[in-house]
Structure 1
Amino acid sequence: MKPLKPPYTRRQFLHDASLTLFSMSNLAALGAYADNTNVQREKMLSVHKAKGKLGIALVGLGGYSGGQLAPALQETQYCYLAGIVTGTPSKAVEWKQRYNIPDRNIYNYQTFDKIKDNKDIDIVYVVLPNALHAEYVIKAAKAGKHVICEKPMAITVEDCDRMIAACKEAGKMLSIGYRLHFEPHNMEIMRIGQKKQFGSIKRLIAENGFSGAGGWRLDKQLAGGGPLMDVGIYCVQGCRYTTGIEPVAVWAQEGPKTDPDKFRSVEESLTWQMEFPNGIIAECKTSYAQSMNVLRAEAENGWAELSPAFAYGGINGKTSKGDLNFGQVNQQARQMDDFAQAIVNNRPTPVPGEMGRQDVKILQAIYQAMQSGERTTI
């Protein structure tokens, strides 16, 4: 007989067994407990639905889902964690218990297509390695679900086009997980830059990197590249939303590989420059070997800087006129709530698939420039 899991320990079970046989009444009690737990889960779902909340299913239960999205969904007002998709049975059990997810809302990658019949799930959030984004966004759209896709949207522009087309054909909305569009400091630097509060921007600096990357992030087939595809994309985004205009050309230089074996298929670091209309130049860096996190705009009559700029929390900002005194927010909760409201109110999301496509187009141009050593138009 298999030992029961906590709250019953093996020692407790053996002690109980020494006093009496495990009777049918005990089994019935356990069954009743499980039934009662399922009833409680169904009641919780009913409460969410009664409040008009939309159900989200997370596809992929890695570090970002577990560390950021699931906790954020405990704070959202307009959506909730309704289901999960995972290829790891132990994670299914853990998440089911932690977040009171009913069995019928738990899927693996072989049963994913059955999600089309689940009325609890309105939105599918794809949180998989980059190369799998296109496949599961398209599957989710065909299942009749609205979709959020983590960044980068995909690893090729062609995949982005297929994703956008699939969602349009299904009549479903597609949003990219650009959480910083809902973060007050970043929203302010958007306003400062786009409204030209300090005059026209002349120069941008954007840097984002960390050390210790591993797993699929170092596999080009899954990631599409190295730190540029992971954290460098924040620099591209930051420059785009600070200016409100699009870059027209790029130059790029790959950094040295301190560990050639580890970084045999992807870059370890990358420096690039983006040329914008009106002579604006953005100087950007990304790395898997060095910590950096800054976004700075220098204009005719002043400057604005965020440091850290792209973190999940603790974002800090200042300008030539003083500090930016905004409180910290749960970025992911605000991001997901906004998408839920966009669906309910039938309005566009501020971070649509077309925005993600443009980033991928720029990322591919940066890699082309890195390989050629020449200025590459976008």
Structure 2
Amino acid sequence: MNYLKPEQKNSSRRKFVKSLSLGIGASSLAFTLPNLGFSKPGKLDKKMGVALVGLGYYSTDLLAPALKETENCYLAGIVTGTPEKAVKWQKEHNIPKKNTYNYDNFDEIKNNKDIDIVYIVLPNSMHAEYTIRAAKAGKHVICEKPMAMDEEECKQMIKACNDNNVKLSIGYRMQFEPTTQEVMRLGQEKVLGAIKLVTASAGYREGRTDHWKVKKAYGGSPLMDMGVYSLQAARYITGEEPISVTAQAYNTRPEIFTEVPETITFQIQFPSGAVGNLTTSFGMSVNSMHTTTEKGWFKLDPFSAYKGIKGSSKEGVFDFPVINQQATQMDEVAVCISENKPMRVPGEEGLKDIIVVKAIEEALETGKKVEITS
């Protein structure tokens, strides 16, 4: 294991950084991944072109910089409804005018050989439409999380990509992060015994009244934005799918949260008897995960940040390489496309989350425990 024992914390990091070698039978788990262990994606002979659809914060501050570090792909095009942004991005990122699109002429992207992958970075309510349009244009798709508004949209997205022989990946960057992959290994291999309780919280203080993330019609809510991190943690640690959920909502600032809750807590149960006690919020900054097992514990704090993920267990402090999450994610996606390999986070994985999200919403509405049968 990649640990610094308590007495070794001051020793050289390099001495304890090792590659993971796993023997788990992943196919036997409900939650499956091509590879639970971290390894740097292989390098392709030719880089793939990526077009970013939507030029908000995530594209501007995280994806575009990451695409300067990627080895297997590069920023080839942009899609925006704001002409001023288009001009700025063309200058700053050397984007040709012919590789610049808006939402009206988006479908013309099918004729652009520079663009191989379309990365959907739009409000949640637009994910399905633009994923399907990109697939019909013959482009591979990375769609930001959460995948879509409901199960039916998810299924339509998966079908569109399958029908057009393109690959679909959902933007769960944490599954590409090595410290996170270690807690997945510890949980799914039951290294410290069976999982008993996963506690995870993800949130920040949102104060904007006009942002789409607080608008129900756009798919806004702390559950859809940050709650899927907490849900993912419970799922990828246990390696199981939830069978029931209860949920509660709280609102201390009704002047802001008129359409969606400010804070949501939800409790999920797994077939093994493991329980997830999970929180998501637009009212407070929380970012941690703690798992209790038969023989000990392990945790991440923070657990869903863009950088600085820190982990430990009863065995000591984790010591894994620091990576650019988004760059690693996009590089691996490019390799999977080029070599026709399964995606680490395919559309089916996004669908599984949305099934549980809809059950949580039902539990909030009814105040009752909801059984999950799908």
Interval containing the TM-score (normalised by the shorter chain):
0.7 to 0.9
Q: Which residue of 2 aligns with 1:174?
A: 168
C-alpha deviations, 1:33-62, integer Å up to 9, x for none? xxxxxxxxxxxxxxxxx9411100000000
Kindly indicate whether residue 215 of structure 2 is the aligned counterpart of residue 219 of structure 1: yes
CA–CA separation in structure 2 for the residues paired with 1:90 and 1:142: 28
CA–CA separation in structure 1 for the residues paired with 2:316 and 2:337: 38
CA–CA separation in structure 2 for the residues paired with 1:279 and 1:107: 50
**Other structure's SS at 2:272 match:** helix
CA–CA separation in structure 2 for the residues paired with 1:169 and 1:289: 42
Q: Residue type matched to 1:229 in 2?
A: M
Q: Residue type matched to 2:230 in 1?
A: C
1:232 aligned residue (213, 227, 230)? 227
Summarize the alignment of residues 295-334 of structure 1 with structure 2, pairs less than 5 Å apart. 295-334=289-328
Deviation of residue 373 (structure 1)? 1.0
2:331 aligned residue (322, 329, 337)? 337
Q: Which residue of 2 aligns with 1:45?
A: none
Deviation of residue 260 (structure 1)? 1.1
Deviation of residue 328 (structure 1)? 1.8
Q: Residue type matched to 1:140 in 2?
A: A
Superposition TM-score, scaled by structure 2 size: 0.86
Structure ranking higher in helix proportion: 1
Q: Which residue of 1 aligns with 2:241?
A: 246
C-alpha deviations, 1:232-279, integer Å up to 9, x for none? 100111111111111110000111x22212111001001110001121
Deviation of residue 327 (structure 1)? 3.0
**Other structure's SS at 2:278 match:** strand
**Other structure's SS at 1:144 match:** coil
Kindly indicate whether residue 48 of structure 2 is the aligned counterpart of residue 54 of structure 1: yes
Summarize the alignment of residues 18-167 of structure 1 with structure 2, pairs less than 5 Å apart. 51-167=45-161
Q: Is the 8 Å Cα contact of residues 121 and 144 (structure 2) preserved in structure 1? A: yes
C-alpha deviations, 1:323-373, integer Å up to 9, x for none? 011232100000000100000111110100000001011001001001111
**Other structure's SS at 1:261 match:** coil
Q: Residue type matched to 2:216 in 1?
A: K
Q: Which residue of 1 aligns with 2:29?
A: none
CA–CA separation in structure 2 for the residues paired with 1:192 and 1:213: 37
2:368 aligned residue (356, 374, 378)? 374
CA–CA separation in structure 1 for the residues paired with 2:272 and 2:50: 43
Gaps of 5+ in 1: 1-49
Gaps of 5+ in 2: 1-43
Q: Is the 8 Å Cα contact of residues 79 and 101 (structure 2) preserved in structure 1? A: yes
Q: For the structure 1 residues 137 and 113, does the alpha-carbon distance in structure 2 shift closer, same or farther, using more than 3 Å as the test?
A: same
Q: Residue type matched to 1:54 in 2?
A: M
Q: Which residue of 2 aligns with 1:183?
A: 177
Q: Which residue of 1 aligns with 2:22?
A: none
Q: Residue type matched to 1:219 in 2?
A: K
Q: For the structure 1 residues 181 and 213, does the alpha-carbon distance in structure 2 shift closer, same or farther, using more than 3 Å as the test?
A: farther
Q: Which residue of 1 aligns with 2:192?
A: 198
2:257 aligned residue (263, 279, 302)? 263
1:350 aligned residue (341, 344, 347)? 344
Q: Which residue of 1 aligns with 2:8?
A: none
CA–CA separation in structure 2 for the residues paired with 1:64 and 1:229: 16
CA–CA separation in structure 1 for the residues paired with 2:216 and 2:366: 19
Q: Residue type matched to 2:194 in 1?
A: S
Q: Is the 8 Å Cα contact of residues 196 and 294 (structure 2) preserved in structure 1? A: yes
Q: Residue type matched to 1:316 in 2?
A: K
In our comparison, the structure showing a higher alpha carbon Rg is: 1
**Other structure's SS at 1:278 match:** coil
CA–CA separation in structure 2 for the residues paired with 1:213 and 1:251: 27
CA–CA separation in structure 2 for the residues paired with 1:166 and 1:73: 26
Q: Is the 8 Å Cα contact of residues 207 and 256 (structure 2) preserved in structure 1? A: no
C-alpha deviations, 1:98-121, integer Å up to 9, x for none? 111111000011110100000000
CA–CA separation in structure 1 for the residues paired with 2:150 and 2:369: 20
C-alpha deviations, 1:187-213, integer Å up to 9, x for none? 000000001110101111011010025
Q: Which residue of 2 aligns with 1:18?
A: none
Structure 1 runs (4+) deviating above 6 angstroms are: none
CA–CA separation in structure 2 for the residues paired with 1:140 and 1:358: 22
Q: Residue type matched to 1:189 in 2?
A: V
CA–CA separation in structure 2 for the residues paired with 1:240 and 1:190: 9
Q: For the structure 1 residues 213 and 232, does the alpha-carbon distance in structure 2 shift closer, same or farther, using more than 3 Å as the test?
A: farther
Identical columns (%): 51
